[in-house]
Every structure is written in structure tokens, then in C-alpha cells.
Structure 1
Amino acid sequence: MTADISRTGAELELAARVVELVRSVAGPAAEAEVVAWHNAEALTRFANSAIHQNVADATTTVRLRMHLDGRTAGGSTTITSADGLRALVERTADAVRLSPADPTWPGLTPPSPLHVSAGHPGSGERSGLDFGFDEATARADPAERAARVRDFVRAAGGLETAGFCRTIYTSAAFANSAGQAVEGRTAEAALDGIARANGSDGVARLAGGRLADIDGAVLGARAAAKARAGERPIELPPGRYEVVLEPEAVADVLSNFAMFGFNGKAFAQRQSFAELGAEQFDPSVTIVDDPLGSRGEPAPGLPFDTEGTPRATLVLVRDGVTKAVAHDRRSAAEVGAESTGHAAPDSRTWGPIATSMRLEAAPPATESVLPPADPGPTAESARPLVAHMERGLLITDLWYTRVLDPKSLVITGLTRNGVWLVEDGEIIAAVGNMRFTQSYPQALGIGMVRGIGAESVLLPDRWSGVRYAAPALHLASWNLTGNASG
């Protein structure tokens, strides 16, 4: 099964039909916003070094939010026939009459043209669909995903492997009763796999807008090198260690920043660490949310949110100074700001969340400091940082991270998929996994960042369609609070 990408205009027609139904069912005083999207996801899974599952799902969903007489209600359906759409409108109209008053209703997005990133031809305002969209990725078939899995397994050199390769195609449109009407489409690919050697796991993962850019052999070899280098780990005492976090670990930092730090609802409720205009990070730190792909790569997200607000690159932190948080219309109205295009179906509950965050990489050095020897378990982007470490830990990945204090964003979690002790720029030994308890903003605070890798790597998150671009990070201190074994 391959995605049907011949649906140009179908979602916009659906959205417009629902807006007209609202007028006829609920009357001209009803305000309505409608999102219609077609999502096709295909997944090829492998375990024990063999593909064991190939699944695909394609669903068209219509979501309606209605505001009438000071009350708001919403509903959705996957039944897009005339009867199905009328039933959606009728039950939403019934629900809105029974809903409590909604004094914080922010109103509808007015007619607004979409934007195109400066990284794409034809930059400026446009209403087209492509936004760097890669048709080959949207049309990818099981054989193309299987080929990358095969290359991953072969490159692991006989080690046990497991993981997945996925492709996602989304075509969506928005319309409201104020006259806003926009549409767009996007495609995403990802490969995430592990290799295992005598109980030691090595990981390699990559996301992107083009399946063609994902090389299974490169990822398989990387995962295998990490697994072999992680055998026979030693245990270290708890304490504060200088660390190099590889991109996989940095992606977890960005994910928690997005969920709890640069979240407009948390900011409005004063539950976020973010202080606009304050120097909260090291001057080397710049973080942006980039849904349109300003570097010229295929756009990772749709060019509008579920309220129809056009999206653009949003600078969250520049040179260590916090500049913005992500807003939908409701959180923006609460603090007297403008929506940044981060509304989502659940943003009223969880708050608006940036889904295309990038920690800017450092400019490349004029002279390479990479050692000529085989780098072993060290990802290429982290090698120069490791070479400058006196005594500390190289950490591949963080997982099972949980928030202890949302205001200061103190996180506890475990290392995963490879930790190594480094002395004088050389890897000395593999280290057993450890528990940490660390404030993420403090770890990246003024004077705490000793280096940033020269390449930001696109990595998939737990949720489909979410990607973080992360370089390696050399940090002065990370609080390791115990061994995972006890």
C-alpha cells in the first residue's frame, strides 16, 4: 500500500463544506473552524535481524470547533460522507448549547496568507501545497523501506538488530467562517534501530523529509560500533560529571523544552522557566522552531496550525537570550501576544508545543580536530567535543525522563544505549547506565556550555511527524545520582 497523493484540494473542499453546514444548521451567528486532514503512515518493523511486520494505515479526519452564544464545543469524525459531515455538525451544535461559558474564546483567525521559508525558491507569501514536499517519500512502498532495513542489518555485521523504518504523508486543509482557507502537505521518513552485543545495545536513528537521504548501512554500522564498544562496562560513583551529550540525548532536552519550557500555556500560568528578554542560557545557545525548513530541506510540518494561523520560523532563544514561547490564539490572548501558529487538537489541554525545534550547530572549525584513528562509538558530530574533554562521560541517549519540577525543569531519567568514560580526550572504558537528576535549563546556563557540535542531526520523536534537529553538546556539569543497577 502506498499513499494516495492525488487528493489535491480534497481536504479543503471537505473543510469548506462543513463551514457551510454550520451556517445552515446553527445559523449565521455561529463561529466555526474546521481542519480536514488525510494521514497515511506506513511502518516496517524488524526484530531478531528480520522484518516481522509491515503495516500501513490511511485515514481522513475532519475536526470541527464551534463557538455560539459565548460557548465552545468541538467534535471530529472519520465519516466524510454527506450524512457523516451533517451528523458531526448537528452533534457539535447540540454540545455547544450544553457547554459552559467560554470567556477566554480568542476568536477566529482572520484571512491570512501562508508563508514560505527563505530557504525555498519563491520565498515570501504563497498559497501552494509543496513547501519543499518530497513526492518520492510520500509514495514510498514497502520494498523501499525494507531495503533500508536490509542495509542496516547487514552493516551490523552479525549482531542482533531491531527497530523500524517509517514513512508518513499528510495532506491537510483549514477553513473557518471568518474566511480563512489554507492547505498544505508534508512527508516524513525515519529509521530507528539498535544492535546488540552480549547485552550491550548501540543505537542509531535519523529522520528527514526525504527517504532517499536515510542510509541504512551507515546507521547499522554506527549502532554496531556502539554496541561492541559498550561491552564489559564498569560502574562509576554518583556525582557531577563533565559530559558530552550526543544528538540523541540532546533531542530529549529539546523535547522537554518544547513540552514544558517554551509552552505558551505553561508560560501564561507561570509554570515555565522562560523569561522573555532574560539571559537564561549560555551565549552559544540559539534555539529555533522551524516548521518550514529554512535550510532548504523539505518542510517538517504543515504551513499552518489547527486554528489556521500561518506558521513561520520562530526564534525561541538567540545567543542565550530567551526571545519567545510557542502560542496558540488562546494562550497568546492571555498574555497579550500574537499566536505563533502552534495550535493543535490538544493544545487547550496540554498547551501549544513546538514540534520542529533546532538547536543551532556551531560554525565548523577552520581546521579539523578529528583524530585520524577509528572513532569507535563516538558519533562524528561529537568527536571534536570528546577530544577536548578532560575527564567526563560520553552519553549516547536519555530515556524514561520524567519532570520533578516543571518550573525549573528538573528532570530525572536514565542513560541508554552507551555511556563511556573519557580522560584527556580518549575513551577509557564503557560505563554502566546511570540515573540522573538535572535541571535542563541550568545545564545549558551561562558558562556551562563548553562546546556545540558542527552538525545538527534530524531525529524522530516518539510522536509521528515530530522531529528535532540536535547537535552534540559538551556541558560542564551533569548530575548523575546513581547506578541503574541499584
Structure 2
Amino acid sequence: MTQLSTPQEVVEAALAAATTKGTVVIVTDRSEANLRWANSSLTTNGEMSSRSVTVVATSPSGDGTASGVVDRTVTSAAQVRALVEEAEAGARAAEAASDAAPLVTPELAGVGSDFGLKPETTSIGAFADVAADLGEAMRGGGATRLHFGFAEQVVDSVYLGSSTGVRLRHVQPTGRLEMNAKNADWSASSYLGFTLRDPSEADVGAADAELTRRLGWAERSIDLPAGRYETILPPTALADLLIYAYWLAEAKAADEGRSAFSRKGGGARIGDQLATLPVEIFSDPGRPGLECAPFVVARTSSSDTSVFDNGLPIPRQDWVSRGKLVALSGSRSYASTASGPSAPAASASGTPVRLAADNLILEAPGASGSVDDLVASTSRGLLLSTMWYIRIVDPQTLLMTGLTRDGVYLVEDGEVVGAVNNFRWNISPLDVLNRITEIGETVRCYPREWGDFFTRTAMPPVRVSDFNMSSVSQAR
């Protein structure tokens, strides 16, 4: 049985085995390393590697084109041929795809000059400094606080090839450091999370000092009722709210009146003022520290993503400009009024359609200041740490619910005066945007709730008026 050792060999073997009109092959070589610790002791560490292969086969169907997609791990030439045959059988049996479009050509995709390079890897050795710094923090905590957490580095080397001649490669490092500290009797907890392209970026000492400060705030406990409070959201909490809005900002759903971005009477809310302040919300594959694939890598089609668009370039995309909604996401096929595959796209109802990238940034011109600066200018309000268990309640309004976690603090006269109980909250991220009264400096941040799916965000801390804490939560 002939073994295929490199991702390039897998791509070429799959394309050589294809018999239908158009084929796309995506090979991802993944390298992982991680550390875990609990009760102030390192518990496990490990390294893993894997390879996944996706074959997208297309075939004529009626007046259109159908697709068949199969994804699994393969290592031999025979397994690759079987994978291609299965994808082609699926395409021949399927109805014409609603998202069908001509496969991307090299002229449209651009030159992938690094396709021949080897996959990149990571190892447990990348965490040597992190482990040493954690040891110092654990010793420094003594018997007064306990440390828990997780550090991870994943490197995905993605190779994309098609029967049209496209050959692209992208290496995506994705890392995180999550640190949790509890006092000795577990009556208080503090948490910080960081997104890292490389473990060397981690500052464990500074994070431990901040966790200790927050446990100090919790030495005084204050009970507060449910209600609407002026609330300071740190970057991580704002990211968790806006990511869900980003996922649901689809042109097709808006045009059809099925989303919070639909305008009463028909069409989408393009041009509507979503934020009181002139914020900019955008995605940008080239954003330093948040770099992501600059071309479409679609292993399945969805309402705004198409396997037919694999390899299509993704430039910076503005979603909200000076507080106004300016674009929604969608595939080429939905951009039915565009004059060509590379033209500025618009949906049939005139909604500008853009391709979503794997990052999200919110900035405000001239904004500066940290969470501490917002605290210093607060007469009375709440300071959140993180949110979790976020769920959508009403897609038509983007009403969401969730819980606060690992520290809610009362601010009075510019100082944190104690920790308060946790809350269940109910609010729409669109309401949050409209109620922001002050914005700090945008920083790279880790979205705790969605970190397993979406890690590349940059957000500012913000002050929000009338944040709805709908009920008291007994969770600690």
C-alpha cells in the first residue's frame, strides 16, 4: 500500500484520481501541545499530531451543479482514491447546489508561492518558560490561593488545491493561556484568558498579579438585586457578545426578513446606525497578531459560506463604519447582481455582500484607556470579568442570555469596593452597541465562551448604560 507522506502528495493524488468536472482538496496537518494544572500543581501535558483531508467533488445536475463533500483521515494512495470516489458518488446523487459557482481559478486566487513548503509544528518545549513562570506563581501563592488553568498551542498547516490549478498554503498558529485563581476556602474566584500566537508572548507573572488583586477585591462581599446597571465590560466580554452577532450577520437571512439585520418592510438594515458612538467593526486577515487565512477554506457549505468559493481571496472587510451597518456576509452565488466573480458584490436586493474572515476587531477613532481608567471615571456601576453559558433567545432581535462568572465587582467613586453576586443577564449585542457611552483602547483578547471556535479578536473595554442583570445567580 503506497503511503503518502506529505500533504502536497495527498492533494496531487486526490486531484489525479478525480473524474468529475471540478474538484477541490483541502489537507490540514495539525500539531498540538498543551499543559494543564490544578490545585497549584501541573497535572498533564502532551503533544499530538493529525491530518484531515477534505474532498469537494462537483458534478452536473439538471440545469446546475451539485457537490459532494467527504472529510476524514487518510494516509495511503488507495484511501485517497476511495475518498475521491465517495465524494464523487455523493455529487452525482445530489440535487443542484443553490450555492453553485465556477470554481476559483489561479488568476482570481493569486499566487500561492509557498505551497511546496513543509508543514510547521509545535512541541511541549514551547511551554518551557510558561511552566517555569507558573511554578514561581504557585510558590508565591503559598496556602492563600490555588491555581488552575490550561495552556495550548495548535499549528494548522492548510494546503488547498483544485482542478483549476489553484495551489495555496496557510499556516495558522492558535494559542491560548487560561489562568484561574481561587482563595483557600474557594469562596472567591478570578480568571484571565489570553490569545497567543506563540507561548513566548505569555506574561504569567503579570497575569498572576492581576488575579491576586481581584481576589483581594473579593475580600468584601456585597449582595445586589437584579436590575439595570451601568456596567464596564472588559474586552473579552465584549468579544463574546459581538462574535455571535458576527456569525448571524448574513445577507441572505437579512434580505429574507429572518434576522436582527432585517429592515421592517423588507431588505436589510444597511445604512442603519447601530452604535451611538462612531465605532468601526471589521475583519482583516492581515491584522498583526490576529493573522488568519487570507482566502476561503470551506469544508462545508452554509448560509453564508460555499465550498465553491474555496481559494477566493479575503481582504479586509468593514461591517460597521462610524457606527453604521455597511455590509453583511455571503457567498459569491448569493451576490447575484455582481458583474463578475471579482466585482464588488451585492445581493439581489442590493445588500452589499462580503466574505467573513476568522477574526473580528472593534475600534473607535481616538479612543484610549484601560479597564482601570474606566473604573476611575465611574461613579457607581458594575465591573464584569467574563461571561459564560451564552445562548440565543430570539434570533429576530439577537436577544441573548448568559451568566457572569469569576468575579463581578461593585465600583463606587472610581474604586472597586468589593465583589457582588453573580447574575443571569439578558441583552442583545445590538443594544450593547447602542448603549456604549465610553470606549477604551482596543487590545487583542481571548473570548472565553467561544474560544474553542473563534479566538482571534481585538476589542476595547467599554462602559454600557442600563445593562440588564435579569436575575441573581447563586453560582459562585
Q: Is this a same-fold pair by TM over 0.5?
A: yes
Q: Give the deviation of 1:215 after TM superposition.
A: 0.9
Q: Give the deviation of 1:264 after TM superposition.
A: 4.7
Unaligned runs of 5+ in 2: 262-268, 299-309, 344-353
Q: Is the 8 A contact 2:109 2:311 kept in 1?
A: no
Q: Give the deviation of 1:413 after TM superposition.
A: 0.9
Provide the residue aligned with 2:7 in structure 1.
11
- Within the alignment, does 1:284 sit opposite 2:278 as a pair? yes
Provide the residue aligned with 2:193 in structure 1.
205
After TM superposition, the structure 1 = structure 2 runs for residues 206-225 of structure 1, keeping only pairs within 5 Å, are 206-225=194-213
Q: Give the deviation of 1:155 after TM superposition.
A: 5.6
The worse-fitting range, judged by mean Cα deviation, of 423-432 and 86-95 is: 423-432
Residue-by-residue CA offset, 1:47-99 (whole Å, 9 max, x unaligned): 11111111222111110111112222110221131111001011122222222
Match of 2:52 among 61, 80, 85: 61
Q: Give the deviation of 1:136 after TM superposition.
A: 9.2
Match of 1:356 among 337, 359, 376: 359
Unaligned runs of 5+ in 1: 1-8, 116-124, 341-350, 369-380
- Within the alignment, does 1:109 sit opposite 2:101 as a pair? no
The letter of the residue matching 2:276 is: D
Provide the residue aligned with 2:304 in structure 1.
none
Q: Is the 8 A contact 2:276 2:323 kept in 1?
A: yes
C-alpha separation in 2, matches of 1:195 and 1:311: 40
Provide the residue aligned with 1:452 in structure 2.
439
The letter of the residue matching 2:100 is: W
Residue-by-residue CA offset, 1:401-432 (whole Å, 9 max, x unaligned): 11111121111111111111222322233110
Q: Is the 8 A contact 1:240 1:478 kept in 2?
A: yes
Provide the residue aligned with 1:321 in structure 2.
324
Match of 2:34 among 14, 38, 43: 43
C-alpha separation in 2, matches of 1:290 and 1:151: 37
Q: Is the 8 A contact 2:282 2:361 kept in 1?
A: yes
Q: Is the 8 A contact 2:29 2:51 kept in 1?
A: yes
The letter of the residue matching 2:164 is: A
- TM-score normalised by L of structure 2: 0.82
Provide the residue aligned with 2:81 in structure 1.
86
SS of the equivalent of 2:446 reads strand
Q: Is the 8 A contact 1:114 1:311 kept in 2?
A: no
Relative to structure 1, the CA distance from residue 126 to residue 182 in structure 2 (aligned partners, 3 Å threshold; closer, same or farther) is closer
- Within the alignment, does 1:297 sit opposite 2:300 as a pair? no
> For this pair of structures, how many residues does the alignment match?
434
Relative to structure 1, the CA distance from residue 265 to residue 355 in structure 2 (aligned partners, 3 Å threshold; closer, same or farther) is farther
The letter of the residue matching 1:228 is: G
Q: Is the 8 A contact 1:209 1:299 kept in 2?
A: no
Q: Give the deviation of 1:457 after TM superposition.
A: 2.8
Provide the residue aligned with 2:302 in structure 1.
none
Q: Give the deviation of 1:142 after TM superposition.
A: 4.9
SS of the equivalent of 1:444 reads helix
After TM superposition, the structure 1 = structure 2 runs for residues 81-480 of structure 1, keeping only pairs within 5 Å, are 81-112=76-107, 127-128=113-114, 140-154=125-139, 156=141, 158-197=144-183, 198-260=186-248, 262-264=249-251, 266-267=253-254, 269-274=256-261, 275-293=269-287, 296-297=288-289, 299-301=291-293, 303-306=295-298, 307-333=310-336, 354-360=357-363, 363=366, 381-445=370-434, 448-459=435-446, 461-463=450-452, 466-480=455-469
C-alpha separation in 2, matches of 1:38 and 1:72: 24
The letter of the residue matching 1:143 is: A
Q: Give the deviation of 1:384 after TM superposition.
A: 1.3
Q: Give the deviation of 1:265 after TM superposition.
A: 5.3
SS of the equivalent of 2:392 reads strand
Residue-by-residue CA offset, 1:19-56 (whole Å, 9 max, x unaligned): 22113xx4xxx221111111112121111111111122
C-alpha separation in 2, matches of 1:114 and 1:336: 18
- Within the alignment, does 1:34 sit opposite 2:29 as a pair? no
C-alpha separation in 2, matches of 1:232 and 1:282: 35
Q: Give the deviation of 1:168 after TM superposition.
A: 1.0
Q: Give the deviation of 1:162 after TM superposition.
A: 0.8
C-alpha separation in 2, matches of 1:443 and 1:156: 37
Q: State the identity as a percent.
A: 27
Relative to structure 1, the CA distance from residue 360 to residue 98 in structure 2 (aligned partners, 3 Å threshold; closer, same or farther) is same
